[in-house]
Amino acid sequence: MIKGLTAIINGNVFNAKEKCMEAKNLYYQKGKIVEGYQLKDAEEVIDAAGKYVLPGLIDLYAHYYYGGCNLGINADIVCPGQGVTTSVDAGSAGIMNFDSFYRSDITRAMTEIKAYINVSPEGVKAAYKHGETCDPDDMLYEEIFGFFKKYPDVIKGLKMRISKETTEGYGLAPLEKSIEIANKIKEQGYPCIVAVHVANIPEDAPIEGVLKLLRKGDSYTHLYQNLGETIFDENRHVKKFLYEARKRGVLFETGNGNIHWSINNLTDAYEEGFYPDIISSDLVQSSIWKRPSYGLINAMNTSLMCGMDQLDILRAVTYNPAAAIGMEREIGTLEAGSRADIAILDVMDVKQTFFDRFGGERESQRVFVPLMTIRGGKPVFRQSFF
């Protein structure tokens, strides 16, 4: 028996990179996945018979500035119980308040929080007629770059919001300026994706124009939203330029939220095989533990109900988001040497009626159910019946 060695036995271990299940035992010690051991070596054993053993889930789009943003939630209230071990804050703070966000929330969370810094100096200002300023003249490269240098292990990119509340009258100029800043930061040796909120967009910033500007690795979020222009043409087919953008390497993300998805949109897109690369929750104060969309597991379940392949769903909350922020060797994987961030899930035969904010309603027959969450080798959640 080896002190501190834990074995998870009899589970279906998800190889997220190859998108397949492997029947094998998994071992971890001192916060890392390890190999070369046998069951008799383990000090502790977790029997995951018939369950899915996954890398800790990654929610790439939520809001955690609990101490200073009207959208912010406490990550540790929602993430462990949903199997989430790492999450990215979607631009809640900008150069005016990122230091405060870092001190009040990021450093105190058990959940690992990474972040996009908002190109708007004040960060997100939602639920008002006029949102955060997206005037390109207010997007200050030197100040933004200073935060990448100060928090290189935390900040993973830029966030901007294209909507009537934030960019109407500016056209695509705010996105063009964001891309310009991201390119300069990347030239300095820092990875910098641009995560773009696209919903209820003004006529002077059409989806096709947005996608033409996005680079390989940039994220188009709220893919299945239902406000204003959508991804569908007049015949309810996904517009061809979205396929072209995907070929160039643009990433497509759900960012479900309460109002940024509909059952009809998911179903029609999935029937064409246009799945998201990344499933995320866009969790905020007004949606926490409230239907129709209260977290990442719910976003996964709606995708399962609407026809997305099960293994594609699991990859979209593990390897794909990890790769998007350049962390696929540390998280989103269960390879030897990676972090012992682990989620154990079941898929249960449960009849559940899901609905959206647009009158859509549908009954699901199967749902993902979190059973246990392990963060850095330490259990942080466990169902009473597991």
How do the domains of the chain map onto residue ranges?
A: 2-54+337-382, 57-324
Closest to 13 measured CA to CA, from 59, 40, 44, 46: 46
Does residue 130 register a pLDDT over 90?
no
The dihedral sign for the CA sequence 358, 361, 366, 371: positive
DSSP one-letter code for 254 = -
Which residues on adjacent β-strands are paired with residue 87?
59, 113
Task: Report, as an integer, the average pLDDT of 289-306.
Answer: 92
Q: Tens of pLDDT along 1-31?
A: 899 999 999 999 999 999 999 999 999 999 9
Does 329 score more than 70 pLDDT?
yes
Average pLDDT of the segment spanning 331-348:
98
pLDDT at 294 over 90: no
What is the reported pLDDT for 128? 65
pLDDT, tens digit, for every residue of 137-196? 999 999 999 999 999 999 999 999 999 999 999 999 999 999 999 999 999 999 999 999
Give the integer Cα–Cα distance in Å for 355 and 39: 45
Distance CA 170, CA 269 (A): 30
| pLDDT value at residue 289 | 83
Average pLDDT, integer, range 244-252: 98
Spatial separation of the C-alpha atoms in residues 352 and 361, rounded to whole Å:
11
- pLDDT for position 288: 83
- Measure the CA–CA gap between 191 and 152, rounded to whole angstroms: 9
Mean pLDDT for the chain overall = 95
- 251 - beta bridge partners? 219
Residues 6+ apart with CB under 8 A from 202: 162, 163, 164, 167, 168, 169
- CATH topology match: 2-54+337-382 vs 57-324: no
Query: What pLDDT does residue 293 have?
Result: 80
| The one-letter amino acid at 65 | Y
pLDDT tens for each residue of 304-326: 999 999 999 999 999 999 999 99
Please, are residues 305 and 26 in contact by the beta-carbon 8 Å criterion? no
% of the chain residues with pLDDT over 70: 99
Block residue for tokens 């996005």: 214
Average pLDDT over residues 348-358: 92
In contact, 56 and 20? CB cutoff 8 Å: no
Considering only CA atoms, which of 16, 6, 48, 113 is closest in space to residue 333?
A: 16
- CATH number for the domain running over 57-324: 3.20.20.140
Superfamily the domain 2-54+337-382 falls into = Urease, subunit C, domain 1 (2.30.40.10)
Higher pLDDT, 259 or 30: 30
Look at 37-41, 256-260, 286-290 and tell me which has the smallest mean pLDDT: 286-290
Please check the confidence at residue 235 and state whether its pLDDT lies above 70.
yes
- Average pLDDT on 66-74 reads 89
